A and B are shown apart, each in its own frame.
Chain A
Amino acid sequence: MLTAVAIAVDGLGFAAWLFLSSVGLTLIYGVMRILNIAHGGFYALGAYSSAWAIGLYTQTGSTIALTFLIIPLAALMAGVVSGLLVERGILRFMYGRDEVLMVLVTYAIFLILEDVTKLIWGTESYVAWQPAFYFGTIDVFTIPYTIYKFIIIGVAIAVGLALFIGLNRTRIGKLLLVVIEDREISGALGINVRRFFTVTFVIGATLGALGGAITAPEISVSPGIGAEIIVLSFAVIVIGGMGSIGGAMLGAIIVGFARAASVHLYPPAELFSIYLVMAAVLAVKPYGLFALAESRKI
């Protein structure tokens, strides 16, 4: 019973983290058809800037409560600046190139971002645990969990809802759905597709940075976290169907629970189980569970 509870809560926690980290990736792919490896770089930038800002702030000895404002601000800063630089500086010259080539372009950008993070923050780890323990812990069937974990779950649900409402209930969101559906026709109808690309990319980058920023208090932020999250995010969005936000949510839940289950039942299988689930889903549904319809062009 205790194991089941632990798997359920941890699974939800993992799923929230994975959803926050990968929803930007699926958004960018849906709109721009770019599988953005550099997303791992945005995640790392977000994590570092949040951990660094929290560290600076707590040194002043002020109330910890304000760090909950610092986290989203750090993510916004990191995401908007790096997202704009990458999109305006590099990617916009590459639009229209082959999808696979764009993967390699973003891989190159990822490598550059990795070193940018090292140059700014050095190679040592940053630990910013204060926000994670600010609200203390809560017992779920005698297992103590930090309240922070539930805040992350709440944020993930809020982000998912905001994206859902933003896409389906607002004018801009509906226009964006049109761009996702058919880029050429929407351009012909007078939608400024390029501007949507820029906005989407910056939003996606900011979401990636938010994923990193909000996780930072729970982990030790060190080089390599970007490379680690990007393969997990791939697994999530590939399972759900690339470009689908509902898919990312389902994918995050599947991967999150697979990981939580293996952590509690058979720890050595932790990494292995995630990719096994991914390969199994793909073997049955080659383009993911919620794949976008694609016409075969002859």
Chain B
Amino acid sequence: MAIDWQAFWLTLQLATAVSVILLMLGLPIAWWIAFSGWRWKFLVEAVVALPIVLPPTVLGFYVLVALGPRSPLGRWWIALTGHTLAFTFAGLVIGSILYSLPFAVQPFAASFASVDRKLIAASATLGASPLRTFFRVVAPLSVPGLITGTALSFAHTMGEFGVVLMVGGNIPGVTRTVSIDIFDRVQSSDYAAANQTALLLLAFCFVVLAVVYSVNRKAWLLGPIK
């Protein structure tokens, strides 16, 4: 009876990979949501928000199907690597990205949208391209939102269970995350070990969030919005 450090380490890797990828992937999506004038934009917003309300098993089921050998994506991956995406770490990352997408995109988009439009206009009249305006004006003024979105997607992935179980199963060192480890121990009535791991996860997530919010508070104080 001890803490499964392998599962813990794996979960950390997963959460880090997911939040880093979401930071890159979420920026253009959030930019588009914040600034597009397309009339059907709300449909895209609804799709992005779906993972918040869907049961993780539903999302996990469709991800599993999409990654499987019968889908174009699955076949392409098999042709490329020789094995299926399901029940691999890469598959887990893809599932988790979808699962945590709204937790990154929504804070990003909200903070982009709150940047004074006049500053964006001023940047353009000073000759800056939209890309330069984004990196020199919009992103720096959205730092609190970027921190919040990245932290939320990290923490959300740390604690994810349903999608992981559906897409990854329970392969030690490959897809066995902390939450699955805890579930497993409860199933085998090892409550003491489950308690230890659960407590560790709880403490870890609390510390991460506390650090993030404290940094964020400073960012708010340093970066005057308005």
- Do A and B truly interact? no
Which B residues lie at the A interface, using CB under 8 A? Answer: none
